[in-house]
Amino acid sequence: MPHAPLDLLLLPTWLVPVEPAGVVLHEHGLGIRGGRIALIAPRAEALQHAALQVLELPGRLLTPGLINAHGHAAMTLFRGLADDLPLNIWLEQHIWPAEAKWVNEQFVQDGTELAIAEQLKGGISCFSDMYFFPEMACELVHKSGIRAQISIPVLDFPIPGARDASEALRKGLGLFDDLRHHPRLSVAFGPHAPYTVSDDKLENIRVLAEELDAGIHMHVHETAFEVQQSLEQHGERPLARLARLGLLGPRFQAVHMTQIDDEDLALLVTSNSSVIHCPESNLKLASGFCPVDRLWQAGVNVAIGTDGAASNNDLDLLGETRTAALLAKAVAGSAMALNAHSALRMATLNGARALGLDQQIGSLELGKAADLTVFDLNGLAQQPVYDPVSQLLYAGGRACTEHVWVGGKQLLDGGQLTRLDEQRIIANARAWGAKIAGK
């Protein structure tokens, strides 16, 4: 039987599949059918296939959708609230009091919607979120069409939406059951950090994660102080403590990891845990430098995240990836460390692998979900184009983002959101800003 027509045939000047690594396909077509990638072929061959819609993309680069592997979406409403402060002062004297005063379900709804809109406009098709009222974030993800991992926040003290860790886990399990078969949503456990979650709660999370085959998303080794505090209180480094408790493994997503010694590296390698690098937040808070090239050379899966806009101050994953590439070179003392193609892999396939989604997304391969981003490289500042990936990373920016599809559904068309009302979202954010600032 002949194949049904393609739903959509994209014809970009350049197509970067990410897998295999380092490949740029010139004048190829990509076909979508039923929300999945059904064809990748040279242009002439691709045009022989019937398609309901054909989109010519001259001077454009087609890549997998970008994956923001760590953030706190609703905190976008705290963007710029407490800048240029050390992490402990920023958290304890500004962010935590603001959260206690302002965070409720409406805050999470409006802040998450703002974050989703910003991310889509920057080429992000999937994000990982860890914040309060996770059920509200799930609703926004479902409605907007984006893909996400939502982590259930767990701390030893009361948080908005949960009186204690036990209640947070109960609600999280209910959410996990409700969304078990959702095509775009996965639920993970989000113990905040080693210094805010006790051993018994961590062991409970380990058991649940094993039973449900769920991810564990956690801030780890964010600062030197955190490591020193753990040595004083537990007689071991935080990562060693987590290893002793059985949390490390392919499901474990270690966010930040700015402090890594030889023993830490060995634990990451042997456990096959992923590291999620957030360079701009770490730089802004002076938290330290994740040794990305060293991790990469050792075979550790390193993904990339923006962190929350309260500490970044944007959700620009393309900019984050550029910073990661430049910083990796400086930290390693080598201009060859983390080249542009490897950096793009961090922002796509490595992110998918960290979130346990690499069989579905992260690269342009037949059968995978059609999560795609198109970048326009026709601009003055992108000329001439020798390597489109280098040009995107080092001379482009999120303003080059033109189209985004998730599961074959177009969520950004010519830079315009197709499902979200941008002006209403801006108005809501301004209203929150005036309220929080006391104006």
Tokens 């059609």 locate to 370
Mean pLDDT value of segment 399-408: 98
Query: pLDDT at position 2, please?
Result: 60
Residues in Cβ contact with 19 at an 8 Å cutoff, skipping those fewer than 6 apart:
349, 362, 363, 364, 365
Letter string b/e over residues 132-155, b meaning 16 or more CB atoms within 10 A of that residue's CB: bbbbbbbbbbeebbbbbbbbbbbb
pLDDT digits 0-9 by tens, 375-396: 999 999 999 999 999 999 999 9
Task: Write out the residue limits of the CATH 2.30.40.10 domain(s) in the chain.
Answer: 8-64+367-407
CA dist., res. 70 & res. 255, Å (int)? 7
Mean pLDDT of 118-147: 98
Quick one: pLDDT at residue 91? 87
In the block, residue with structure tokens 């020193």: 228
Cα–Cα distances in angstroms (integers) from residue 128 to residues 141, 190, 436, in the given order: 11, 11, 26
| Average pLDDT of the segment spanning 133-147 | 97
Structure tokens at 70: 């760590």
d(CA 98, CA 100): 5
Tokens of 340: 């542009």
Domain with CATH 3.20.20.140 in the chain: 66-354
Task: Return the axis-axis angle of helices 105-121 and 134-144, rounded to nearest 10°.
Answer: 40
Instruction: List Cα–Cα distances, 370 to 38, 45, 185, 358, 406, in angstroms.
Output: 9, 20, 15, 13, 6
Average pLDDT, the chain: 97
Residue 195: pLDDT above 80? yes
pLDDT at 1 over 50: no
Q: Which residues contact 150 (CB under 8 A, 6 or more apart)?
A: 129, 134, 137, 138, 141, 175, 185, 186, 187, 188
Note the pLDDT tens digit of each residue in 411-426: 999 999 999 999 999 9
Q: Are 404 and 87 in contact (CB under 8 A)?
A: no
DSSP letter for each residue of 228-274: HHHHHHHSS-HHHHHHHTT--STTEEEEE-----HHHHHHHHHHT-E
- Give the pLDDT of residue 340: 98
Token pair of 6 as six digits: 């393609």
The strand order across the sheet containing 216-220 reads: 66-68, 124-130, 147-154, 185-191, 216-220, 252-256, 274-277, 301-304
Q: Tell me, what's the pLDDT at 86? A: 86
The verdict on whether omega for the bond into residue 64 sits within 30 degrees of 0, i.e. cis, is no
Mind listing the pLDDT tens digit for each residue in 260-289? 999 999 999 999 999 999 999 999 999 999
Does the structure show a pLDDT above 90 at 87? no
Instruction: Note the pLDDT of residue 439.
Output: 66
Neighbours of 301 (CB within 10 A): 21
What are the tokens at 210? 């094993």
Among 425, 439, 437, residue whose Cα is nearest residue 82: 437
| Phi and psi torsions of 396, nearest 5° | -100, -155
Tokens (6 digits) for 342 = 């490897």
Average pLDDT over every residue of 15-35: 98
Tally of CB atoms within 10 A around 390: 17
Tokens 């350049």 correspond to what residue?
Answer: 14
Contact criterion met (CB below 8 Å) for 5 and 54 = no
**3-class DSSP state for residue 373?**
strand
Distances 266 to 99, 223, 261 between C-alpha atoms, Å: 37, 19, 9
What is the rounded CA–CA span in Å between residue 32 and residue 20?
A: 20
**Superfamily the domain 66-354 falls into:** Metal-dependent hydrolases (3.20.20.140)
Tell the CATH superfamily of the 8-64+367-407 domain.
Answer: Urease, subunit C, domain 1 (2.30.40.10)
Q: DSSP characters for 135-195?
A: HHHHHHHHHH--EEEEEEEE-SS-BTTBSSHHHHHHHHHHHHHHTTT-SSEEEEEEE--TT
Angle 134-144/165-178 helices, nearest 10 degrees? 20
Residue 390 DSSP one-character state: H
Handedness of CA 430, 434, 436, 437 (dihedral sign): positive
Would you state the structure tokens that stand for residue 191, as one six-digit string?
A: 């113990």
Q: Which residue, among 250, 251, 252, has the nearest Cα to 238 in the 3D structure?
A: 252
**Phi, psi (degrees; rounded to nearest 5) at 361:** -140, 180
- Lowest-pLDDT choice from 85-94, 141-150, 214-223, 399-408: 85-94
